[in-house]
Amino acid sequence: MSAFKITENTWWVGALNPNLRVFDIVMSTDYGTTYNAYLIKGKDKTALIETVHDKYFDVYLDNIAEIADVSKIDYIILNHTEPDHSGSLYRLLEKNPNLTAVVSQAGAIYLKNITNRTDYNTMVVKDGDKLDLGGRELTFINAPFLHWPDSMFTYDPANKTIFTCDFFGAHYCEPYIMDTKIKFDTAYKRAFKGYYDAIFGPFPRYVAEGLKKTESLDLDYICVSHGPVITKDGVYKFVRDCYEQWCSPQQREKPTIPIFYTSAYGNTHALANEVMNGIKSRLPEYGVHTFDIIEHPMAELANAMAQSEAFLIGTPTINKDAPPPVWSLLGHVDAINMQKHPCAVFGSYGWSGEAIPAVTERLKTLKLAVFEENCKICFVPSENELKSAYEFGQRFADTLKK
Ligand code: FEO
């Protein structure tokens, strides 16, 4: 797709990737994505905002060439240095070694390890710093943990435009740049929610701060780095309202303790039920429920885990290990916000039961507070073993009593 004019002296020069189905190894992208980058011209200076994934560098370069001579561009502003935005910087520097990379302090450090170069010009900017392009003065706004420590926004008051990189973004691709052209509104909204959950869900406090920092700005355009450019006449109100709601503390009817398990022959399932009954006997005011891991979408399980007061994992042992669905769930533990979160592990096994210590170790590595006891039963639990699972649930519940 060609360069596209957004507003006065501001162009989209990014790339579309409609066929992408998995982003960053773990994130499904049913509607593809875009790598948005922008070019803005002042009377004296020209700046790019973000590069693109390096596979799309040639498209990016062609789009830039429609607007400006790449060798004469002065700045490359990187609001966030994850390689989908900075990954082709090294190639851009080959075309224009005089470029100055404008980044936050953290971004400057990451960039050196991403480019493996130190021989380029860097301008480190702090919150409130300004950059004059000639008749257009850009302001930088610190936005840490949205979603990396390096993140910042770039505000262009002359054009009522803010460049927020991932913030308000979505992995969504139609052959249009502006939100007013979205043809599949429901699909966009689904992608927008999925993106928030995966990228910003772990950082609600920082999302609230990001919203606060931008609420008083006079904005017609939010130039995100994935998905459609957001406009006042388009989804502006929708995206702000969604973020406001999603980052607010969730009101729960009662504290919850989900018990995630998987079970080939019903033995770990039987233990899960007894553990649940044991916990309920001690904490009747809690919502305690079992979830067969293979019967629920991973996002639902991850959300139940993140919202929980504590959780348990019941795992059989297959091939001296926990089966893949258990590891998949462990891959969704929010390691940033769940440190010291109470959890416990149990399961039935056939020969030696390696899954239980393996899962326990994994949870400890993530710095969760793992209950020191396990409930580990060989093959089919007897009446006595079911009773011991019940009591295991009780003892775990007792550690949660305030
Ligand atoms: Fe689109 Fe955090 O990179």
Instruction: Give the position, in ligand 1's atom list, of the atom nearest the Cα of 147.
Output: 2
Read off the pLDDT band of 239 (50, 70, 90).
very high
pLDDT of the residue at 82:
96
166 Cα–ligand 1 center, Å: 5
- As a whole number, the mean pLDDT across the chain is 96
Cα 51 to averaged position of ligand 1 atoms, centre (Å):
12
In angstroms, what is the span from residue 45 Cα to ligand 1's centroid? 27
- Token pair 């109470």 is found at 342
Nearest CA to ligand 1 atom 1: 166
- pLDDT surpasses 90 at 1: no
How many angstroms separate the alpha carbon of residue 190 from the centre of ligand 1?
A: 18
pLDDT at 262: 97
pLDDT above 80 for 41: yes
pLDDT at 401: 86
Per-residue pLDDT, averaged over 70-90, amounts to 97
86 alpha carbon – ligand 1 mean position (Å): 9
pTM for this prediction: 0.87
Measuring from atom 2 of ligand 1, which residue has the nearest CA?
Answer: 82
pLDDT at position 132 over 90: yes
Q: Virtual CA dihedral for 146, 149, 154, 155, nearest 10 degrees?
A: 60
27 vs 205, which has greater pLDDT?
A: 205
Tell me the angle at which helices 236-247 and 185-195 cross, rounded to the nearest 10 degrees. Answer: 40
Atom of ligand 1 nearest to the CA of 148: 2
**What is the predicted pLDDT for the residue at 130?**
98
Model confidence at 11, pLDDT cuts 50, 70, 90, reads: very high
Q: Which has the closest alpha carbon to 325: 347, 356, 292?
A: 292
Closest CA to 50 of 84, 73, 100, 16: 84
Q: What are the pocket residues of ligand 1 if the criterion is a CB atom closer than 6 Å to any ligand atom?
A: 80, 82, 84-85, 147, 166, 225-226
Ligand 1 atom 3, closest CA: 82
Sign of CA dihedral 104, 109, 110, 114: positive
Q: Cα of 215 to ligand 1 centre, how many Å?
A: 22
CA distance 349 to 13: 56
What is the predicted pLDDT for the residue at 252? 75
Of the CA atoms within 13 Å of residue 191, those in its CB half-sphere come to 26
pLDDT in tens, 278-326: 999 999 999 999 999 999 988 789 989 999 999 999 999 999 999 999 9
357: Cβ–Cβ under 8 A, 6 or more apart, which residues?
Answer: 374
Residues 9-33, mean pLDDT to the nearest whole number: 92
pLDDT at 59: 98
pLDDT of 24 higher than 90: no
Q: What is the mean pLDDT of residues 369-385?
A: 97
Q: How high is the pLDDT of residue 251?
A: 72
